[in-house]
Structure 1
Amino acid sequence: MLILYILSVFLPIVLTNVIFYHVTTGNVKNQRMKDISRAVEQINNEFRSEVEDAVTISSVFYTDYNLNQILKTDYKEPADYIEAYDTYFRRILNSYTPVYTSIQSIKIYVENPTMLHSGGVGYLSDEVKQTDWFRLLKKRNNAHPIFIRTQQEDLYLKSEENVIRDTFSIIREMNYFESKNNWQKFLKIDLKTSTIDQVFQNQNLQGNIYLVNDKGQIEYSTDPAVDWRRETVAYDSLEFPPDAISFHAENAYVSYLENWRIIGTVSEEEVLKDVRQSREFVIVLACLNIVIPTLIILWITRSLHERLVRILRHMKKVKNQHFDTIKQGESLDEIGQLTSEFNRMTIQVKSLIDDVYIADIQTKSLELERRKAQLNALQSQINPHFLFNALETIRMRSLIKDETETAKIIHNMAKIFRTSLTWGKDRVMVSEEVEFIVCFLEIQKYRFEDRMNYRIHIDPSARDCMVPKMMFLPFVENASIHGIEPLRHGGKIEVQVEREADKIIFSISDNGIGMDDEKVKQFYGYLESDEELGERIGVQNVIYRLKLIYGDRFQLLIKSMPGQGTFIRVVVPVDHEANR
C-alpha cells in the first residue's frame, strides 16, 4: 500500500500541481497585463474623445461664413457691431459650452479695432502675441488645429517662474475665408482641467499615468513627484523603480496629437499580486489533494486489516464449535462478500434457515394484518342501520309536509352517512367522490343560505378513475367550517378535479379567513409523522390513509395566508388495478 500510495498518489499529485501552478500563474499574469493595457488604452480613447470634441467645434467656427463676415467687417459705429454680435455672434458662442461639458471657454482673438473686445472676443495685443501658443501657431503657419498646454488668460503678463500651465487648449488661425483688410483672426478653445483630471484619474489603475507630447515632454501626469504645471520635464529624465512595467498608447494617426503618447507605469508587485494569490490557492489545493487521499488510503487499509482479523477470529471459533456470525454492516467489496458467505455457512451449519424463514413469514403476516386493522379503524365504529332508518323517516315526513328543501338536505346527509359507514368498499370513482362533495356543500348551503357559494369542475377523463373513498371531502369540510363560516358576509369555494397523464389532481380554493404558517406546518407535519392514528379524524385521517395506500407516490400542496383564503392541491396516481 505504501508503494502504491507513492507511485499512484503522491508523485502524480505533486507533478500535477507544479504544472497547474505554472500554467495558472502564467495565465493570471497575462490577463492582468491585458487588463492594465486595456485601462491605459481606455484613458487614451477618452482623452482623445475630449480633444476631438474641441477640434470639431473649432472646425465649425473655422468654416462658418457668417461668423467670418462679422469678424472682418469694418464697423462704423459700435452699435453696428453690437447688433451683429447679438444677432448671430452671441448665439453661436454660447451654443456649444452647455452641450460639450469638457469645454471651459471659447475665445476669438482679432486685430479688428472696430470690434468690442468682450463676450468671447479678445484683442490680439502684443502681450497675446508673446504667448507660447501664439508663437507656436505662427511658427507652424498652417490652418490645422494645434493642441497645446496653456496657462490661464489672466496669467499672460506674469513671469515664466510664476506661470501655472494647467489648461489645455485647441488653437488655430481662422484664415479659411480671404479678407481684404488682412486682419488676423485666431480661435482659442480651452478645455476644463477638471475634465482632464477625471479622464486620467477615474480609472482602476494602481500606477501613474503620463501624457507625453511629440517632443518627449510630460504635458500631464498623475505622478505627484512630477511638477508638470510649472516645469518642462522630459519623460526620459524620470527614474523608475527596477520592477516598473510601462504600457504605451499611441495617437499616431491624429494630426494635432501626432506622436503624443499616454504611458502608464505599474510596479511589478501590483501585476503579480493576483499571481501570488493564485499561488497560495494552488498550495492549499495541493495540500488538500495530498492530505485527503492519504487519509482515505489509511482508512481503507485499516478497514481491510480489521475485517480480515475479525474473519480469522470467527473461523477459529467455528473450529471450536462456536457458530457465531460476524456482526457488521454489509459491504460490497471482496472482504464483505467473504464475510457474508461465512455468515451464511455458519447459519446453515446451525440449521437456523427454516426458523428464519418462518419468523420472516410471521413478521410479514403481522405487518399485513396491522395495516388492514389500521385501514378498518379509520371507518366509523357505530351501527348505522338505526341512523339510516331515522333519517329516512324524517325525510318522508318532510315530503308529506311539502318541505322539499329539508327533505333534499336529509337525503344528502343520509347518502354521506351511508357511504362513509360502508365497510366493504374502500375505493370509489371520482364522479362518486364529487357527488359526496356536492351533498356536503348542499347541506352547508342550506345552513348558510346566501352566505356561501360553490363551484365544481370535473375533467370528463377523470370521472371513471378510482380513488380512496372520502379522500377529498375533509378538505372541503375544513374550507366550509373553518374558512367560510367565520366570515360575516360569507364566501366562495371552488373545487376542481383534473387528470394529467397518470395523475389525478384534486384542488380546492376558498376566500375564507386563511391559516397562519404554524397551522400550515402542522398539516405538513402529518406527512412525516409515523404515529398510530387512534381515534383522530379529518385531514389527518386522509393524509394517514393516503400514506398507507400510496406511500410516497402522492403529493400535497397547501398555500394559505391569514385573511387571504386557502388553496389545497392533492395529487394521486391513477390506480390502473382499481380501474380494471
Structure 2
Amino acid sequence: MFRALLQKFNDLKLRGKLIVAFLLVVAFPIAIVGLILTEELRSLATEDAKLQSEINIERVNQRVNQILRIPIHISNHLQFDRNLNQLVNTEYQHTYEVVQSYQNYLTFENYLQFYSEISNIRFYMDNPTLLNNWSFIPLTNEIADTNWYAQSTQEKGLIGWHFISDETNHHQSYLSLTRKIYFIDNQTSGMLVININPEQLHWILNQESYLTLLIDESQQVISSNDQTLIGKNIDSVMSLEEIKEKEESIYTGIVNGEASQIMFKPLVIESSYNDLTVVSVISTKHIEKDANYLRSLGMVITVIGIIFALLLIIVVSWLLTKRLGRLSFQIKRVSEGNLDSSVFVDGKDEIGQLSAQFNQMVRNINGLIEQVQETTEQKNTLEQKQNEMKLRLLASQINPHFLFNTLESIRMKAHMQGQKEIASIVKMLGKLMRKSIEVSGSKISLKDELEMITCYLEIQTFRYEQRLHYSIEVDESLKNWSIQPLLIQPLVENAVIHGLEDKEEGGFVLIKITTTGNNVLIAVQDDGIGISNEKINEIKQTLNKEEDESARIGLRNVDQRLRITYGQESRLKIESLEGKGTLIHFLIPKGD
C-alpha cells in the first residue's frame, strides 16, 4: 500500500506535490490544533452556562425561603396564642357568643393585612359549637380523611407543606403551611392552614429567563413561570432519568420536545417534615448557543488561516512551475510532431539546462524522423488495424461482469482523484445495472426495490444538477415484505421524465408506502407540470388495451402485472392537476 501511495505521489505534478506537502505539514496540524482549541472554548462556555444556572436556582431558593419564613413565623406565634386557645376550646351555648368571639379575635385579619406573602389563614377544630366563618371551621370527616391532614397529625407539631384545595376560595389549590396546634391545658388540638400568596411565588419565578418550577414531595408543580404547568406532575412535563435522593442533581431530559439540562435543588425549610424542590430547566440548545458560536468562530478563523497559507503556496508554486510549464508546452508541441519549434527558458538552473539539452536532442532526431516517417506511418496503420480487431474481439466478449468491473474501476479512479460525487454516481449506476440485470420473474423484497429506486433517483439528481429532490417514506415493518419486481421504479421514472424534465426549476418526487387496513398503499407523487384531463383519459384507454408490451417497462406493463397478479382492485389510479403535479397509486393485499 505504501508503494501505491508513493507511486500516486510521484504521478502528481509539482504544484500538486507542493499542495500535498502543505496539507500534511501545515494545514492538518493547524486544523487539529484549531479543533482542540475551539472544543476547549466550547467546553468552557458550556460550564459557564451551567454555573450561571446554579446561581439562578440558588437565588430562587433563597427568595422562596424568605417568603416561607413568614407563615412559619405566624404559626410559631399562634401555637402560643391564648386568645386562640380560649376561642376554639370554649363550648358555646348561643350563636351570639360565637359571633361575638369571632369579632373580638382580629389576629388572623391583622396578619393578612400586614403580610402580603400569605392569602388566607384558617383553623380546623373539633368543636361542634363553632360556626364556619371560613377562618374557623369545625372539623369534618371529609377534612380529617385527607392525606395532608392525616400526615400533619402524625408529625405532631412539625410544619408540613402541601398543595391543597381551599374550600373557602372555590376549591382553588394553594401551597399551604399545615401544622398541628396543641392546647395542652385543654388536652385538645386543631389544624392550622396558611395559604401562601401564589402571586408572590409567581413574581419570583417570573424573574427567571429559563423555565423554573417549584414542586412538592409528590412531584406536583405548585408554581412556575409557565402558568399552564401548575398542578401537573413533573413526569408529564419532562422526561428524564430516575431522580436519585441527593442534595442537588443535574439531569438531561426532554422538555417541550427539546433536549434540556434539568437542575433539582431541594428547598430545606426549618421545622418541616417535608421539603419543596426548585427545578430549573435550560434547553441544551441555549446552553450550547455561545459555545457553538465560539466553536464556529474558531473554525472560521482556522479555515481562513489555512486558505491564506494555501494561497501563498499556490503563488509560490505558480512562480516555480511557470518556467516548467513553458518548457512542458514546447515539449508537448514537439511530441505532437512540430520539430521546428525550439525551447527557450531563461535562467541557468536545472530547468534552463534541461531546455538547452532538449533543443539539441530535437535537432539530432529531426533528420532521423524524416527517414523513418513512412515506416512509422505504415507501422501505425498496422497497429491501428490490430487494435481495432482486438477491440472487436473484446466487445464480442463483453458481459455484465465486465461492465460492472469497469464501472467499479472508474468509480475508484474518480474517488482517488477527489471526484467523490462522480465516484458516488458511478457506484449508483453500477448498482442499478446489476439489480436491473438480476431481476427475474420471482418476487423481491421491498427493501431491494427501494434500493434500486434510490440509485435511479441519485443518478437523476446528479443529472439535473440538484434540480431534483425526493423523499422516500416507508413503514419500517414493510421493508422485508415481498412484491413483484419493477412495480414502483417505472412510476418513479415516469414522474421524473414526464413530470419534471420540462420544468425549468425542477421539482420534488415523494414515494410513500404505508399500511391501510389489510392492504399496502404505494404512492408516487410529483409536483411537476401535471397532466390534462384529456391526456389522463387517453392514458386510461391505453392501460385498458391488451397489446403485448412485455419488452417495455411502462405504465401499461405495471398496470397489467398488477391486474394479473393481484386483481382488478390493484390497478393503477392516476390523479393529476395541470401545473400542480401528479399522483399515481395502487393497493396490494398485505397477505400477498
Shared fold, TM over 0.5: no
TM-score scaled by structure 2? 0.40
TM-score scaled by structure 1? 0.41
Find the structure with the greater CA-based Rg.
Answer: 1
